Every structure is written in structure tokens, then in C-alpha cells.
Amino acid sequence: MNPHPTGGEGAGRRGVLVSFEGISGIGKSHLTRLVAQHLDQPLMVEEFSGRRQRGDLGSRIVSALAQAAGADRFLRGGCPASETLLLLAVQLHTYETIRVPLHTGRTVLEGRSLHSVAVYQAAALHPHDDAAALAQAHALMREATAWRPAPDLTVLLTDDTGRALTRAERRDGRPIGAEERAVHERCARLFKELTAGDPRVRRLDRAAQPDPQAAADRIADWITTARPLPWPAPALEGVPA
């Protein structure tokens, strides 16, 4: 019996899980809100860095990582392997909190999902070796999806990195230093390389589609025509299907 039924809305029929990925300032949060206006009561899950005040388990893990990292935007506290495992735990916690509405037909829009953890943590684990970082990112995706399903549809937003980071600076009211810029530029490349050839990933170039409403319309079309893909049972005992 397939523990992950597919189909449209209705009892026992799963909704579509959609993630939004890309570097800071790319427009994930703004576009997600615009896309949600096209959908029937979607469940929106903000990216984990924005959930620090909620008090649930995932938020407490992120808050602990942020405290250990001090002012570092990438939650780097000097223990990249431990930090990676904790961020994977946050992703599993996210799935545990959305699985009931998802499995009863709700569309779920998830900000910064598995690909972000894979990309940014691979970059932290291999700061000077791009080939090793890409291999690590693929390995982290395999590990993550042993615990929870990958999204049915991942929207990878791309843009000129400098333009995206300028937006992030305006949003945060804080300049982005040269080392941080280098990390974002590297991660922008890793996102593209990690998702190359993946049929679950659709890319939208903000440089080619600068109008937010037009971009949201296009993404909404992708979502409304998407279908839940078969999910294998988790490989590990005790993980909820």
C-alpha cells in the first residue's frame, strides 16, 4: 500500500508540496505571497530563519543556531557538521507539522526547503572546493529524503546576484560584506548545478521576468497544473509517512 496517496483534494488524497528556493533578496517571500492569492486556501510555511519566535521545536533549534552563530547570516557557529544535522532536523519537523493538511488535500507553499539546507551547508562544509561541495549537496539531498519527502515542485528563483543582494541589504537595513557576497555567489551556482536535470524543479529568472505579478502568475500556473508525485515510504523506522 502506498503511504503517500496521490491526486487532488478530498479525504485520503494528497495536496501538492511546493518549495521556493534561491539566494537572499531573490524575492521568495514576496512572490510566495502573490502566488498564494491565486490558490484556494494554501498553507504557507515561511522559511526557517523567520520562525525563531514561535516557540515550537523547529523554531527553538533555529534560535539556538542563531545564538551560537552570533551575527553570521548563514548560521555558521564553527561546527558545520552539527549545524547541518540540526538544520536537517528542522526540515523533518517542518514536514511533520504540514503532513496532515497536505495529506487531506491542501497545497503547501514552503519557503527554503531541502535544497537550501543542502546548498548552504555543503558550501560551509567544503568552503574551498566546489566539486566537493556539489557532491556533498547531492549527498545531503539523499540523506534528507530518507527522512522526509522532497517537494513535488521546487521553484528556483534566479537573478543577477548583485541585484538580489542589493534588495537584501535594503530589506535588512544592513550591508552585505565581501565574504558574504562570495558565499551567495557560490551558492547561486550550486543551486543551478544541484537542480540541473531535476524534473521537479522549475526555474524562473527574475532578470527576464522582473514584474512580480507576472512572475507570480507564471508560478501559479506551474502549481495549478502540477500533480502530486509518488513518494516512497521513508527508509528509516519511525518516520511518519
> Is the distance from CB of 191 to CB of 155 less than 8 angstroms?
no
pLDDT value at position 236? 64
pLDDT digits (tens, 9 = 90+) for 62-96: 999 999 999 899 999 999 999 999 999 999 999 99
Predicted local confidence at residue 56, as pLDDT: 86
Indicate the residue type of 86: L
Give the CB-side neighbour count of residue 236, counting CA atoms within 13 A.
11
Cell of 239: 518516520
Give, in words, the CATH class of 17-225: alpha beta
How does DSSP assign 188-219, residue by residue? Answer: HHHHHHHHTT-TTEEEEETTT---HHHHHHHH
* Residue among 162, 157, 156, 198 nearest 181 (CA): 162
pTM of the model: 0.89
What are the angstrom distances between the C-alpha of 196 and each of 100, 130, 156? 31, 16, 11
| pLDDT bucket at 52, cuts 50 / 70 / 90 | low
The closest of 190, 187, 171, 189 to 179, measured between CA atoms, is 187
